[in-house]
Structure 1
Amino acid sequence: MGIIFKGNLTGALCKDCKEPLLGSVIRFYRVDNINSDILSHVAADPKETIRILDEKEIKVKSKLLVAEAKIDENGDYSTVIKGNEQYDGPLTIDIVTHRVYQQKSKDRDPIQFTITTVQPRWTQDDQDNLIFNWKYCIQSRFWCHIRELFDAWVICGRLLNCKEKNTPIPGITVIAMDDDWITDDTLGSAVTDGSGHFRIDYTSSDFKKTFLSPVINVETPFPPFNSGPDVYFKLELAGTPIAFEKPSDKRNNVGPCLCVQLCLDTIDIPDVPIPASFTHFGRTRKIGIQSEINSANGKTQRTGFEGYAFYGSVFMIGSLTKRLNNQPMEYLFEYQKVATPTTPLSASGWLPVKNNMIPETVIGNLITLTSDPMNPVVKEPVYINPVGTGKTEVTYNGDWIKVPQNANFEAHQDAEILRINTNLIDTRPDIDMSAPTATIGSATTATNPRRQNEYVAIRMKQREENNPASEVVAGTSKAIALFNVRYDNVNKHGSWAPSTASNQVAAVSVDIDEILSGSTGCNKITEDLNVRYTARHENLGSVALSIVGPKKPGQNFSFPAISLMSEPETFGTTQLQFTPSGQSVKDLLPCAYTITLSATVKLTTGDGEPGPINDFISFCKS
């Protein structure tokens, strides 16, 4: 048998916002002398009896302590007193607060306050325990005063659709600002939840910043020194600012608990204060158009990603603005081929990137509020050359792309603003690799001439709509290496099962001398195995041979590493290496084996690279 004290304690911040008393302890005290004052307290509303105790009062009542319990993150508490002792009189309930919920300020001495005196209503469980269950929510006026003593300031609010008052807007970042005469302070930020609620915790140091902070923090202007912040709010959606309140909309000198209901009727995206620009290649790699391009060869020069040429469709990464010189803006991209990466660019050598050279590209979004509580904010992409129907498309002014002027248009920032199909810049024909299988393992450029990397610089221009005089360059790349040539009629599977393949990223072929010397391609291997290989591409990354087949216990075999030769191809003949070293081909088990030649190429779109290009050949060991 025992006595159980349990329940839940919270503190109100406002009507629909409360918090658990995490960081506090609840204490139950006996009442020493029951008199008329005590009885009046038992009958009184806790709002009338709650007060902070001084050290003397705390010391006097310490000997009357019956039980205490810590309050958890849900506001729940529970403690058990073992034994048969019972107490039927009234109990005084105090709270000792060490920290308040989500406190950001430094610790301070605990504060003890008394809430009320109650006559417990005991219940009994099936184990004969006596239970006193007491729940209470401390009124906001008193609890916010306690929070202020801990320098714990809070904003609790909700963001709703003004036109649909019951529709919350989730996923919006709410930023609380303090309007100050020197510089506005950011108090904090939070993202609205599924019901539109948000909570921002801060301290007085967040709004008492000066040019001498953190040495001297005071709220300005002077005086008073003990005023609260003057709060207004900014909104963002996934990092994009939304036009909302201005400093003139501030709430003056707010207290430690501010409860607000904000509403938004339309999405208005203010233009960004930075100019439009073209800065990188590729959404994933984000290769700098100047700093990460090697001036000597036009290839990438990023640590861990060096020596790559470009191919395929490449995203141009940068930022757009809706207006230039306060006028609607339009932009275009141009390219210029050069003989070498170091060839100076010509002022008259630029060609426009035509509409047909641009695959589907998203350059921003139209953001709209809806009345659907399950989907309150809709982002509708805006496309260049959309695939399919029902998509919002930009308009052109010749080769110039008009930036949408819709108030709710969110222009891309540090994201794709164009995509160029570089196959329409490098338009050279494929290389015909037609040759007898006997040529595998030998040089091919004499009979199948090479086509080297092309070099092209790319730039972005912007201007006021229909105003050529306002044209400015918004970013020019170094000349980049470009290679879109494919290989046709490439030998595959050597003399074993001869065939050819076309439209290959690289020419990769493998054969075996001992099969090549036969008439059917089915010669069995007995004592010798000489493997021929050829891998050709202007930007080879690696070439390797591997073999799959059974092994004797303790036996191991593989091909030696292949070192790359001068561009554009690596070729030769090699043999298996065995462990132990005294073994040879004749020690292979009589079975079937497959040899694979694999090559990689250093090409990138800025978002991906081609996978390995392979060829294989099988043989039987007799």
Structure 2
Amino acid sequence: MSYLLIGNISALICDDCIEPLANARIRVYLPDIRYPDQQNSWAKGIFNDLRPLTAKDVLMKADRLLAEAPLDEWGNFSLSWEEVHLFTEPLELDLCLDVMPGKTGSHQPRNYHLSNVVLHWKRSSNGYLGAYAYVVPSASWNTICRDAGSWVITGTVRHYQRKEGQLHLKVQAYNAISGKMIGEAYTNEFGRYTIRFSRKDLYSGHLQPVRQGRTNMGPDVYFRIYNDDRLILSENENNAAASERQDLPPCSCLNIEYKSSAVRRASAHINGWISDMISLTAGRRKKREQLRMAANYR
């Protein structure tokens, strides 16, 4: 009898942004018959709190492994196995993160228990079909990213007079502590950008600041935004002094508003100043010429 399990696993960066766990792996295990009471209590809910597993934990249950499959770029998976009876007992589902999204942070396998669940199987011509989805809560995902030394900043870029996000803009994030750019990205069709970087990218060649209240050891950030090659927002270290821009946690959401007219006004002011200087210089040259001709006439 064939079993096919399909589904998706993603994580919340913040309340309004979810990311698929691309390149991760999902594992399905038979229940541990040594602890039936514990299995039954876990199976009362579909989801349980995500908890880390040690390498020893994974090794000790290797003999109960039913199937394993990778997640695609959208966090989707499909795995199958053969079994001679219908599953009515809970199955154990685990997640393995070989690399973090964007391949940032330290590269080492990280294993987590997802849940013990009795799946609802639907009979088909080829066997039984089941589905499972899990979204890692933002608090848990923030902890996982911190342990891996992996940072992600996301948000929406808007013009201050418009509600919709602006697409195809290049967003650059700078670390005010070092003055160096830590990452860049382009906004998508909804005006959302996502910048990823590692802890090692933050303080290369600089001492990591240790100050009271800096619990995340994250950067203080400011931004520059370009529309093609035209600079439409230019911030500096003063902008990074805002409370929401300091010591960013590994999963951060920063929405940005810009005023493109400010750049145009500055450009117009400079052009006007140059024009005035040209006119003034030309006027003085003409006056000097008139005085020279009058002197020659005398």
Equivalent residues in 2 for 1:430-579 (5 A)?
463=277, 466-467=280-281
Maintained 8 Å contact 1:28/1:65: yes
- SS of residue in 1 equivalent to 2:155: strand
Equivalent residues in 2 for 1:265-414 (5 A)?
265-269=259-263, 323=270, 328-330=273-275
CA distance in 2, matches of 1:220, 1:238: 35
Counterpart among 216, 219, 224 of residue 208 in structure 2:
219
Q: Deviations over 1:481-527 (max 9, x none)?
A: xxxxxxxxxxxxxxxxxxxxxxxxxxxxxxxxxxxxxxxxxxxxxxx
Maintained 8 Å contact 1:323/1:464: no
Give the equivalent residue in structure 1 for 2:116: 117
Maintained 8 Å contact 1:41/1:49: no
- SS of residue in 1 equivalent to 2:238: helix
- SS of residue in 2 equivalent to 1:117: strand
Counterpart among 175, 186, 193 of residue 178 in structure 1:
175
CA distance in 2, matches of 1:4, 1:152: 34
Give the CA deviation at 1:91.
1.1
Give the CA deviation at 1:227.
0.9
Residue identity in the other structure for 2:84: N
Residue identity in the other structure for 1:267: S
Q: Does 1:262 align with 2:209?
A: no
Maintained 8 Å contact 2:71/2:77: yes
CA distance in 2, matches of 1:140, 1:170: 26
Q: Deviations over 1:54-96 (max 9, x none)?
A: 2332222222212211111121111221353443210121101
Give the CA deviation at 1:134.
0.5
CA distance in 2, matches of 1:202, 1:465: 51
Q: Does 1:88 align with 2:88?
A: yes
Maintained 8 Å contact 1:240/1:269: no
- SS of residue in 1 equivalent to 2:96: strand
Larger relative strand fraction: 1
- SS of residue in 2 equivalent to 1:18: strand
- SS of residue in 2 equivalent to 1:205: helix
Give the equivalent residue in structure 1 for 2:290: none
CA distance in 1, matches of 2:249, 2:284: 51
Maintained 8 Å contact 1:27/1:69: yes
Give the equivalent residue in structure 2 for 1:231: 221
Equivalent residues in 2 for 1:85-164 (5 A)?
85-105=85-105, 107-108=107-108, 110-127=109-126, 129-164=127-162
Give the CA deviation at 1:16.
2.6
Structure-1-length-normalised TM-score: 0.41
Equivalent pairs counted in the alignment come to: 279
Maintained 8 Å contact 1:219/1:226: no
- SS of residue in 1 equivalent to 2:173: strand
Equivalent residues in 2 for 1:597-608 (5 A)?
none
Residue identity in the other structure for 1:219: Q
Counterpart among 184, 193, 202 of residue 189 in structure 1:
184
Shift in alpha-carbon separation, 1:321–1:105, aligned structure 2, 3 A? farther
Q: Deviations over 1:376-427 (max 9, x none)?
A: xxxxxxxxxxxxxxxxxxxxxxxxxx7xxxxxxxxxxxxxxxxxxxxxxxxx
Maintained 8 Å contact 2:223/2:233: no
Maintained 8 Å contact 1:159/1:263: yes
Shift in alpha-carbon separation, 1:72–1:262, aligned structure 2, 3 A? same
Give the equivalent residue in structure 2 for 1:209: 204
Give the equivalent residue in structure 2 for 1:533: none
Give the equivalent residue in structure 1 for 2:165: 168
Q: Does 1:56 align with 2:56?
A: yes
Maintained 8 Å contact 2:26/2:69: yes
CA distance in 2, matches of 1:196, 1:90: 42
CA distance in 2, matches of 1:116, 1:161: 43
Give the CA deviation at 1:150.
2.9
Shift in alpha-carbon separation, 1:192–1:263, aligned structure 2, 3 A? same
Give the equivalent residue in structure 2 for 1:8: 8
Give the CA deviation at 1:270.
7.3
List gaps (5 residues or longer) in structure 2: 286-298
Shift in alpha-carbon separation, 1:218–1:225, aligned structure 2, 3 A? farther
Give the CA deviation at 1:148.
2.8
Give the CA deviation at 1:156.
1.2
Higher RCO, 1 vs 2 (CA within 8 Å, ≥6 residues apart): 2
Structure-2-length-normalised TM-score: 0.82
CA distance in 1, matches of 2:70, 2:76: 8
Q: Does 1:27 align with 2:27?
A: yes
Q: Deviations over 1:348-368 (max 9, x none)?
A: xxxxxxxxxxxxxxxxxxxxx
Give the CA deviation at 1:199.
1.0
Runs (4+) of structure 1 exceeding 4 A deviation are 221-226, 468-471
